[in-house]
A = this chain, B = another copy of it.
Amino acid sequence: MNLPSKYLENAVDAFASLPGIGKRTALRLTLHLLKKDKGQVLKFADTFKDLILEVKSCKKCHNLSDQEICSICQSPKRDTSLICVVEDIRDILAIESTQQYKGIYHVLGGLISPMDGVGPNDLTITHLEARVKSEQVTEVILALSATMEGDTTNFYLYRKLNSLEVKISTIARGIGIGDELEYTDEITLGKSILNRLPFENSLTN
């Protein structure tokens, strides 16, 4: 693309540097901005400055926050003996929206993935160990994706935490609510038979 202005080109490149946005979409977004008021676009730009300058990582759980300690860790209503380990803050949002969990969190910041060059030291695993040792933690719930990387990380965490006096659990894997048996893959179905539950647990609410 041979754009008629270098500022236009810079803005297109900026958008195109974001994941999942190609050059054409980037141009569409840039032209959309050009149709807005000057004030609106300046505010749009400032939003990202504020973001990078103001948003902090919670010192306890690595959730994002405006303060040093996030609102979940600060809340007196949460059960601090329960730590749910997640990959990133989107998982916290997903779990919070279920309104089923009253413990606190620990954000790993990724999953162990040798293919992508992510090792245990790139994650907040040492900090998690320290938390389990120093805080009054009774259970660590591993809530990672059911992928190769998730399983690898689960296993690594299990080995690290197993020697400590803490219960380690993982979220249940099985047939999703609303799924049909016929279309469920055999590994999930097999696991869900092996890990069958007392009937009472299966009732939704």
Which residues of chain B have C-beta atoms less than 8 A from A3's C-beta?
A: 64, 93
Instruction: Contacts A3-B93, A31-B89, A93-B3 given; indicate if A55 touches B19 (C-beta within 8 A).
Output: no
Chain A positions 1-45 with a Cβ under 8 Å from a chain B Cβ: 1-8, 10-11, 13-14, 17-21, 25, 27-34, 36, 38, 41-42, 44-45
Interface residue stretch chosen among A46-54, A126-134, A172-180, A186-194: A46-54
Specify which of B8, B29, B55 is in contact with A5 (CB 8 Å cutoff). Answer: B55
Instruction: Contacts A18-B29, A34-B64 given; indicate if A50 touches B4 (C-beta within 8 A).
Output: no
Q: Does A70 make an interface contact (CB < 8 A)?
A: yes
Closest 9 CB pairs of A and B: A41-B52, A45-B48, A11-B51, A14-B47, A7-B54, A45-B45, A45-B49, A5-B66, A10-B47
Judge whether B1 and A64 touch: CB under 8 Å. no
**Sampled A-B contacts (17; CB under 8 Å):** A2-B97, A3-B93, A5-B55, A5-B64, A5-B66, A7-B51, A8-B51, A10-B47, A10-B51, A11-B50, A11-B51, A31-B89, A31-B90, A36-B52, A41-B49, A41-B52, A45-B52
- Least CB separation from A24: chain B residue: B90
Distance of A74 from chain B, by nearest CB (Å) = 11
Which residues of chain B have C-beta atoms less than 8 A from A28's C-beta?
A: 19-20, 90
Q: Residues of A with Cβ closer than 8 Å to B?
A: 1-8, 10-11, 13-14, 17-21, 25, 27-34, 36, 38, 41-42, 44-55, 63-66, 70-72, 88-90, 92-93, 96-97
